[in-house]
Structure 1
Amino acid sequence: MDRELGEFLRSRRARVRPEDAGLPTYGERRRVAGLRREEVALLAGVSVPYYVRLEQGRATNVSDEVLGAIARALRLDEAEQAHLRNVGRPVRRSRTVRRPSQRVRPTIQRLLDAHGCPAFLIGRRSELLACNRLAALVLFGGSDTAQEDINCARLVFLDDAVRALYLNWEDKARETVAFLRLDAGRHPDDQELATLIGELSMRSSDFRRLWAEHDVRERSNGTVHLDHPLAGELLLDYESLRVGDDPDQVLVTYLAEPDSPSDAALRFLASWHGEHPTSPQSPVTRSTGT
């Protein structure tokens, strides 16, 4: 994570213009995009050599006060601040200690099934832990991928049918990568996550391009624009909520504007009982290891 800290700081430094940080430029031609290292150090109230050591991954025992000052200097949002703390002060766990499985409580599955709209549960590494029938139809559009061991990041970047489903695929891809990077900061010793990132980097040039941007984002809310093979065009808002006391499990709900064409399309899917040979017939529910 020392390398991750340096690369993250450099990527965020490149985004901030001196004038946005209240620094004079006097019309000079600058050789770097964004702020210089010495300007970040000045804004954060730390020495230039110390900040350089941070970007080089050579600083140890970085205090919360210093990380907070750097976050303010780089104008980081809440998710970026959390990521900076995670990679600046990583918590390492012994490899002999196993984390609890990503288990789906029965009450959560009942909650999903009671939803009258598409709803699903995402866990660590963008793994799909559970969903209701309508979510399976919306997410996979009748694809035979909707059974077990589903990783949403792998589908977004490696499954052509899922890629074609998203009319705003670039937005979906950016969000997916940003969620994975935040996950990597929270769990620096997660070997399965490291393997997933390596696989996606090897197999997808789009993933490599977006991973290099070092963006981080919490799952919160947004819009998906789908070209659904059964229901046609769908424009859906989504809201994400943390589940209980597990910060790694997020319940996502898709919502259509009332009385809109997308609302009518969802009602059609909800009433659809065709015998499509690859249509999901039951919710995905699974329990994974660490």
Structure 2
Amino acid sequence: MELGEFLRARRARISPAEAGLTDYGGRRRVPGLRREELARLAGVSVPYYTRLEQGRDRNASDSVLDSLARVLRLDADERAHLHRLARRTRSAEPERLRPSVQLMIKSIKDVPALVMGRRTDVLAWNRLAHALLAPHLDFAAPHTVNLARLVFLDRRTRRLYVDHDRKMRDAVAHLRMVTGVYPDDPGLGALIDELTALSPEFVTLWSQHPVRNCAFNAREYDHPVVGRLTLTDELMLLPDDEGQRVVMYTAEPGSASEAALAALT
């Protein structure tokens, strides 16, 4: 169960000393906090916490979840993820891109722009986004492009990101968050199965349960045509399309990166 895996991963990273417990030495069978230690610190019974971690109790109150988050030292994104996992009520509807959004993306000429679906599928992109991220792929078929798949499985994309390790971790953090919202999405499950089978790096990161709402990022690129450039990407959630985001890439005005981006046009 996703909830249990997340709680176990977060228990493992908190030592008894960090939680304010006395460490009497001796060998511990599990890294980090034991179930009974976490339950005691959060003010719940051990049987209740065990049922929660095993997915046998779906009625945890907000106060219980907040107590667990406090003990586990979850940040805001992780806390929200915990609450979503404990609810698991949203169904995954097929993704459909509004024609007006597609026209908006195509009308943007000066900066790379695209629409990313909840599974990191490219639903639409403009010429500059194609030229920046995947010039070796067919511009006319954005629906065949998945950004997470490129990050882990495409050798040209691996060279594109200067800090490729960070990009991989961010991709997994996004997929973990989406899994918490749409746990029964078959397309998402198929993508995760594919990456698990083909990428040992994905397996390692996935087991760590990173969670982050990647709303904006500054990244350095090593582009095969225009060389090094630093761009900020802003991810803006579309209000009427659950999980879909508009992504735009901008450079600092007057910078060498802005000149490189202009040359890419």
TM-score, scaled to structure 2 = 0.90
Shift of 1:38: 2.3
User: What amino acid does structure 1 have at the position aligned with 2:54?
Assistant: Q
Change (3 A) 1:261 1:196: same
1:61-92 per-position Cα deviation (integer Å, ceiling 9, x unaligned): 22233222212221212221222122222116
Q: Deviations over 1:148-177 (max 9, x none)?
A: 321111111111111121111111111111
Q: CA deviation at 1:108?
A: 5.3
Cα distance in 1 for residues equivalent to 2:23 and 2:101: 62
Deviation of 1:107 (Å): 4.3
- Of 190, 198, 213 in structure 2, the residue corresponding to residue 218 of structure 1 is 213
From 111, 119, 143, the equivalent of 2:136 is 143
The answer as to 2:233 corresponding to 1:238 is yes
* Identity, % of aligned positions: 47
Cα distance in 2 for partners of 1:177, 1:102 equals 23
Aligned to 1:202: 197
Partner of 1:187: 182
For residue 258 of structure 1, report the CA deviation from its aligned partner. Answer: 2.1
Relative distance call for 1:25 and 1:233 in structure 2 (3 A) is same
Task: Work out whether residues 16 and 35 of structure 1, in 8 Å CA contact, stay in contact via their aligned partners in 2.
Answer: yes
Letter in 1 for 2:221: L
In the superposition, relative to structure 1, how do residues 252 and 66 fare at CA in structure 2: closer, same or farther (>3 Å)? same
Cα shift at 1:39:
2.5
Query: Out of 6, 9, 12, which is 1:11 matched to?
Result: 9
Is 1:33 aligned with 2:28? no
User: 1:50 & 1:115 partners in 2: Cα distance?
Assistant: 56
Checking the alignment, whether the CA contact within 8 Å between 1:104 and 1:129 is kept in structure 2 is: no
- The 3 A distance-change label for structure 1 pair 135 and 45 is same
Structure ranking higher on relative contact order (CA contacts 8 Å, 6+ apart): 1
**What SS class does the counterpart of residue 130 from structure 2 fall into?**
helix
Question: What's the offset of the Cα at 1:24?
Answer: 3.7
1:234 to 1:59, Cα distance in 2 relative to 1, 3 A: same
RMSD: 2.1
Q: Superposed, which structure 2 residues align to 1:56-71 within 5 Å?
A: 56-71=54-69
Compute the TM-score of the two structures, normalised by the length of structure 1.
Answer: 0.82
* Preserved contact between residue 109 and residue 131 of structure 1 (Cα < 8 Å): no
Q: Conserved in 2, the CA contact under 8 Å of 1:102 and 1:123? A: no
Corresponding residue to 2:116 among 106, 118, 122 = 122
> Could you tell me whether the CA contact under 8 Å between 2:9 and 2:209 is conserved in 1?
yes
One-letter amino acid matched to 2:116: I
2:264 aligned partner, one-letter code: L
Partner SS for 2:243 = strand
Residue type of the alignment partner of 1:233: R
**1:98-134 CA deviation, whole Å, 9 max, x = no partner?**
8253213414532563352222211121111112211
Structure 2 SS opposite 1:25: coil
Residues 212-263 of structure 1 show CA distances to partners (whole Å, capped at 9, x for unaligned) of: 1111221211122211011001121222211123340111221212222211
Q: Which stretches in structure 2 are left out of the alignment for 5+ residues?
A: none
Return the match for 1:78 from 76, 79, 94: 76
Aligned partners of 2:155, 2:101: CA distance in 1, in Å? 34
**Alpha carbons of 1:250 and 1:26: their partners in 2 closer, same or farther (altered >3 Å)?**
same
Structure 2 residue matching 1:126: 3-state secondary structure: coil
Q: Please, which runs of 5 or more residues in structure 1 have no aligned partner?
A: 271-290
Q: Which amino acid in the other structure matches residue 143 of structure 1?
A: H
Deviations 1:19-74 (A, max 9, x none): 444x1435745624332322321221101222122223333422233222212221
For the structure 1 residues 70 and 24, does the alpha-carbon distance in structure 2 shift closer, same or farther, using more than 3 Å as the test?
A: closer
